[in-house]
Structure 1
Amino acid sequence: MSEKKTPLPTPTFAELLRSPVMLLAFGFGSGLARKAPGTFGTVAAIPLWYGLQFLSPVAYMGVLVVTFILGCYLCGAASKKLGVHDHGGIVWDEFVGYWLTMFMAPAGWLWALYGFVLFRIFDIAKPQPIGWVDRRVHGGLGIMLDDILAGIYAALVLQGTAYLIHTL
């Protein structure tokens, strides 16, 4: 029978700087916000998305695949180190979920803001099957997967809105 691991307290920014895994998992420190770390993590993803939006669709998708795979490792390792599944401060999944939301989105800060709002709504509300995945899939994959699904839902609404606006 294994002993139950006592969760560690949220690390400090100085502790994050000593561990590249924790620094990335905590979104360069954005996950240290005392309230709404997921929202702060998503905000921190926006400037990085600004650079990504200029990539070709193939290159952008490549970045999404690599950051998803990296995120499975980062989130799993950080979760294990902290002794808590999906610690609120782990926000790499929000980064990748937001970037997925914004894949092939129209240019402009209004669209970036709209994507932000949509992603946060789906990430927080967790409509099915997101809620099921969040409860049943564990480890780094589970931490990443619910945000990927939220990103897909948000992207579908964003793209649908863009289509309607441009065809009316």
Structure 2
Amino acid sequence: MEVKGKSSAGLFFMKFFSTWFFVGHIPFAPGTLGTLAAVPLYLLLSQLGLKCYVLSLILLTMLGVMVSNEMVRRYKDPDPQWIVVDEVIGYLVTMTGISWGISWMFLGFVTFRFFDILKLFPIKRLERLWGGVIWDDVLAGVYGNLFMRVLEILVR
């Protein structure tokens, strides 16, 4: 996604999207706040059914990869802390197909943050790939989703 020579509106959109409505510019705990900022989108998407949820997540991920790659290239930083759309995507992956409810949303939040911070193998390696800003959080979200599914089975 090349922005050079394009309008400042294009750059504004990329900053707006990559920082998830500028949440990423809050000077403390950007990953945690970015994950928290995903909750309203989760609430909306979870009401649309699983197919719409997954389709929206795929589109958001594709756009996230393109925009974050351009931001990394433009600002010459391999993983800028202010890009938090990856946390939004990771949380949505964690919550895919999980029971709806305040306790599950909170548990999903904590679970995703745990796996995102812990960076189990091979999460750290994904950061080096094209789109790695997003892909490491997608995999942390997959780990989180598997953990949540096991919990659902144990609780029921």
TM-score normalized by the length of structure 2: 0.90
Residue 144 of structure 2: which of 128, 141, 154 is its match? 154
**Cα offset, 1:16, TM superposition:** 9.7
Question: How far apart, in 2, do the equivalents of 1:132 and 1:106 lie?
Answer: 31
The aligned counterpart of 1:101 is: 94
Instruction: Please tell me whether Structure 1 or Structure 2 has the larger radius of gyration of its CA atoms.
Output: 1
Does residue 22 of the first structure (1) align with residue 12 of the second (2)? no
The aligned counterpart of 2:112 is: 119
**Cα offset, 1:111, TM superposition:** 0.5
Q: Among all aligned residue pairs of Structure 1 and Structure 2, give the percentage whose two residues are the same amino acid.
A: 34
**Cα offset, 1:159, TM superposition:** 1.0
| Contact 1:122–1:153 (8 Å) recurs in 2 | yes
Q: Secondary structure at the match of 2:109?
A: helix
Q: Secondary structure at the match of 2:147?
A: helix
The aligned counterpart of 2:3 is: none
| Contact 1:38–1:88 (8 Å) recurs in 2 | yes
| Contact 1:16–1:23 (8 Å) recurs in 2 | no
- Could you list the runs of 4 or more consecutive aligned residues of structure 1 that deviate by over 4 angstroms after TM superposition? 15-18
Matches within 5 A, 1:11-50: 19-50=12-43
CA shift in 2, pair 1:41/1:16, >3 Å: farther
State the Cα deviation string for residues 62-91 of structure 1 (Å, max 9, x = none). Answer: 011101100011111122222211100001
Q: Secondary structure at the match of 1:154?
A: helix
CA shift in 2, pair 1:35/1:71, >3 Å: same
Does residue 84 of the first structure (1) align with residue 87 of the second (2)? no
CA shift in 2, pair 1:120/1:165, >3 Å: same
Aligned residue pairs, count: 149
CA shift in 2, pair 1:122/1:58, >3 Å: same
Question: How far apart, in 2, do the equivalents of 1:155 and 1:117 lie?
Answer: 12
Residue 145 of structure 1: which of 129, 132, 135 is its match? 135
Question: How far apart, in 1, do the equivalents of 2:9 and 2:96 lie?
Answer: 29
Question: How far apart, in 2, do the equivalents of 1:43 and 1:125 lie?
Answer: 18
Ranges in structure 1 where 5+ consecutive residues have no aligned partner: 1-14
Q: Secondary structure at the match of 2:96?
A: coil
Residue 65 of structure 2: which of 72, 79, 90 is its match? 72
**Cα offset, 1:18, TM superposition:** 6.8
| Contact 1:16–1:22 (8 Å) recurs in 2 | no
State the Cα deviation string for residues 109-135 of structure 1 (Å, max 9, x = none). Answer: 11001000000010011000112222x
